Amino acid sequence: MNYWDRSFRTKRLIIFSSFIIFSFTILVLGFFNLQVLQREYYLQLSLHNVIRQVKLNPVRGLIYDSKNNLLVDNRPAFSAALIPAHTTKETIKKIADYFNIPVKNIIYRLRSAPRFRPVIIARDIEKKKLIYLAENQYFLPGLDIILDSKRYYPKDVNSPHIFGYIGEVNQKDQERDPRYELGDMIGKAGLERYYDTDLRGTKGIRYIRVDASGKELGDFNPQLNEPPIHGSDLYLTLDYDLQKFAESLMEDKRGSLVAIDVRSGGILAMVSNPDYDIRLLSGKIDPEIWRTLLQDESHPLYGRSIQSAYPPGSTYKIVTAIAALQDGIITPAWEAYCPGYFRLGRRIIRCWKIDGHGWLDLYGAIKNSCNVYFSKLGLKIGLKTWSKYSKLLGFGKRTGIDLPNENPGLIPTIEYFNKIYGENGWTKGNLANLAIGQGELLTTPLQIAQFAMILANRGLYHRPHLVDHIYNYQTQKTIYFPIQSKYVVGVSSEVFDVVREGMHQVVNGGTGWLGKVPGIDMAGKTGTAQNPHGDPHAWFMAFAPYYHPEVAIAVMVENAGSGGGVAAPIGRKFLEMYFYHKLIPRPVIKKDSLQVEPAINPIQSVPLDSLSPLPILNQPGTE
Amino acid sequence: MYRFQNIFKQIDFALLLPVIFLIITGLFTVYSATHITQASSQNYFSRQLFYAVIGVVLIFAVTFVPYKVIFDLSYLLYGVSLLLLILVLFIGIRGYGAERWLSLGAVKIQPSEFAKITTVLAVARYLSRNRRNINHISNLTVVFLMILIPFILIAKQPDLGTSLVFLALIIPMLYFAGISWFVLFVLVPPVITMVVSFNLYAYMVWILIITIILIFARQKLYLKILVFLQHILVGSLMPVLWNSLREYQKQRILTFLQPEKDPQGAGYQIIQSKVAIGSGGVWGKGYLQGSQSQLNFLPAHHTDFIFSVLGEERGFIGIFIVLTTFLFLFLYMLYLSNQVKSSFSRLALIGFTTILFFHTLVNISMTIGLAPVTGLPLPFLSYGGSFLLTSCLLIGISMNFSRNRFQP
Option in B178, B276, B323 nearest A4 (CB): B178
Mean pLDDT of B122-126: 92
Residue of B282, B292, B335 lying closest to A35 (CB–CB): B282
**Does A24 sit within 8 Å of B327, measured CB to CB?**
yes
pLDDT band at residue B321, thresholds of 50, 70 and 90?
very high
pLDDT score recorded for residue A2: 43
**ipTM, 2 dp:** 0.88
Q: Which residue among B297, B361, B365 places its CB closest to the CB of A51? A: B297
Specify the 3-state DSSP secondary structure of A20.
Answer: helix
- Residue A20 sits at the chain B interface (C-beta within 8 Å): yes
Closest-approach residue (CA) in chain B for A16: B172
Mean pLDDT score, B144-158: 86
A606 contact partners, CB below 8 Å, separation of at least 6: A519, A520, A579, A580
Judge if B174 and B195 occupy the same domain: no
Which H/E stretch holds residue A56?
A: strand A50-56
Q: Tell me: the pLDDT tens digits for A420-431?
A: 888 877 888 888
- Give me the numbers of helices (H) and strands (E) for chain B, helices first please: 17, 3
Q: Is the pLDDT of residue B40 over 80?
A: no
pLDDT of A205 reads: 82
In angstroms, the CA B19 to CA A582 distance is 89
Residues of B within 8 A of A54 (CB-CB) are none
Q: Is some CB atom of chain B closer than 8 A to the CB atom of A50?
A: yes
At which of B241, B258, B275 does a domain end? B258
Which residues is B94 bridged to in the sheet? B100
CB of B268 within 8 Å of any CB in chain A? yes
Q: Do A46 and B134 touch (CB under 8 A)?
A: no
More confident residue, A54 or B292: A54
Q: B323 at the A interface (CB within 8 A)? A: yes
Mutation for B interface: A14, A19, A34, A210, most B CBs within 10 A: A34
Q: Of B194, B224, B258, which closes a domain?
A: B258
pLDDT over threshold 70, residue B142: yes
* C-alpha closest to that of A34 among B381, B370, B26: B370
Would an 8 Å CB–CB cutoff place B331 in contact with chain A?
yes
Low-confidence ranges of chain A (pLDDT < 70): 1-5, 47-51, 114-116, 210-215, 283, 587-623
The closest of A506, A521, A510 to A603, measured between CA atoms, is: A521
Nearest residue of B to residue A111, measured between CA atoms: B38
For B295, the closest chain A residue by CA position comes to A116
Q: How confident is the model at residue B393 (pLDDT cuts 50, 70, 90)?
A: very high
Start-to-end C-alpha separation, chain B: 29
Q: Which residue has the higher pLDDT, A288 or B194?
A: A288
Task: Give the integer Cα–Cα distance in Å for A461 and A482.
Answer: 14
CB contact under 8 A, A45 and B311: no
Residues B85 and B10 in one domain: yes
DSSP character for B11? S
User: What gap in Å lies between CA A214 and CA A285, rounded to an integer?
Assistant: 30
- Tens-digit pLDDT profile for residues B50-95: 999 999 999 999 999 998 999 999 999 999 999 988 888 887 766 5
Cβ(A261)–Cβ(A551) below 8 Å:
yes
- Is A24 in the B-facing interface, judged by CB distances under 8 Å? yes
Predicted pLDDT of residue A3: 46
Is the domain of B15 the same as that of B63? yes
Residues of A (171-230) whose Cβ lies below 8 Å from B: 221, 223-224
Output the pLDDT for position A390.
93
pLDDT, average across residues B257-277: 63
Tell me which of B240, B258, B276 is where a domain ends. Answer: B258
Say how far apart CA A526 and CA A507 lie, in whole Å. 9
> Searching chain A, which residue's CA lies closest to the CA of residue B312?
A35
Same domain for B242 and B341: no
Note whether B380 and B234 are same-domain residues: no
- CB proximity B343 to A under 8 Å: yes
Please tell me if residue A37 touches chain B, with a CB cutoff of 8 Å. no
Residues B230 and B337 in one domain: no
Domains of chain B: total: 2
Mutate to test the interface with B, among A31, A53, A175 (most CBs of B within 10 A): A31
Rounded to the nearest angstrom, the minimum Cα separation between B365 and chain A is: 7
Q: Nearest residue on chain A to B336, judged by CA atoms?
A: A13
Domain positions in chain A are 7-37, 52-236, 302-611
Domain shared by B313 and B397, yes or no: yes
Asked if B139 and B223 sit in the same domain, the reply is no
Task: Please check whether residue A547 touches B, CB under 8 A.
Answer: no
Inter-helix orientation angle A371-392/A317-326, to 10° = 80
Q: Does B278 touch chain A (CB under 8 A)?
A: yes
Q: Report yes or no: A614 at the B interface, CB cutoff 8 Å.
A: no
| CA of A196 vs chain B CAs: smallest distance (Å) | 27
Assess whether B240 and B312 both reside in one domain: no
Of A28, A35, A224, the CB nearest to B278: A35
Which residues partner with A622 through β-bridges?
none
What's the pLDDT tens digit per position in B270-289? 777 888 888 888 988 888 77
Closest CA to A163 of A90, A78, A64: A64
Residues 6+ apart with CB under 8 A from A195: A61, A187, A232, A234, A402, A467, A470
What's the gap in Å between the CA of B278 and the closest CA on chain A? 4
Boundaries of domain holding B133: 2-179+259-403
**What's the mean per-residue pLDDT of chain B?**
82
Same domain? For B344 and B228 the reply is: no
Q: Quick check: A34 and B291 CB within 8 A?
A: no
| Residue at B408 is within a domain | no
Which superfamily is assigned to A302-611 in CATH?
DD-peptidase/beta-lactamase superfamily (3.40.710.10)
One-letter amino acid at A361 equals D
pLDDT of residue B260: 46
Return the closest-CA partner of residue A349 out of A443, A426, A271, A428: A428
Contact A26 B370 (CB under 8 A): yes
What secondary structure does DSSP assign to A449-509, as a single string?
HHHHHHHHTTTEEE--BSEEEEEETTTTEEEEPPP-EEE-TT--HHHHHHHHHHHHHHHTT
Mutate which of A27, A171, A206 to disrupt the B interface (most B C-beta within 10 Å)?
A27
Phi, psi of A491 (to 5 degrees): -125, 125
Instruction: Name the residue of chain A whose CA is nearest to B326's CA.
Output: A24
> Are the Cβ atoms of B311 and A31 closer than 8 angstroms?
yes
* Contact: B278, A38; criterion CB under 8 Å: yes
Q: Percent of chain B at pLDDT above 90?
A: 32
Three-class secondary structure of residue A340 per DSSP? coil
- What's residue A547's pLDDT? 92
Tell whether B134 is within 8 A of chain A (Cβ).
Answer: yes
Question: Which residues in chain B have their CB less than 8 angstroms from residue A43's CB?
Answer: 278-279, 281
List all residues of chain B from 193 to 232 with a beta carbon under 8 Å from chain A: none
Question: A21: which chain B residues are within 8 Å (Cβ-Cβ)?
Answer: 327, 331
Same domain, B8 and B95: yes
- DSSP H or E run through A336: strand A336-338
CA distance B275 to B368: 9
Q: Which of B214, B216, B197 is nearest to B206 (CA)?
A: B197
Q: Give ∠ CA B130-B135-B139 in degrees, rounded to 5.
A: 60
Is B177 in the A-facing interface, judged by CB distances under 8 Å? yes
Judgement on whether residues B229 and B334 belong to the same structural domain of the protein: no
Fold of A52-236: Penicillin-binding protein 2a (Domain 2) (3.90.1310)
Same fold, A52-236 and A302-611: no
Of A192, A196, A201, A199, which is closest to residue A228 (Cα–Cα)? Answer: A201
**With contacts defined as CB-CB under 8 Å, which chain B residues touch A116?**
295-296
Report the chain A residue with the minimal C-alpha distance to residue B281: A35
Helix (H, G, I), strand (E, B) or coil at B93: strand
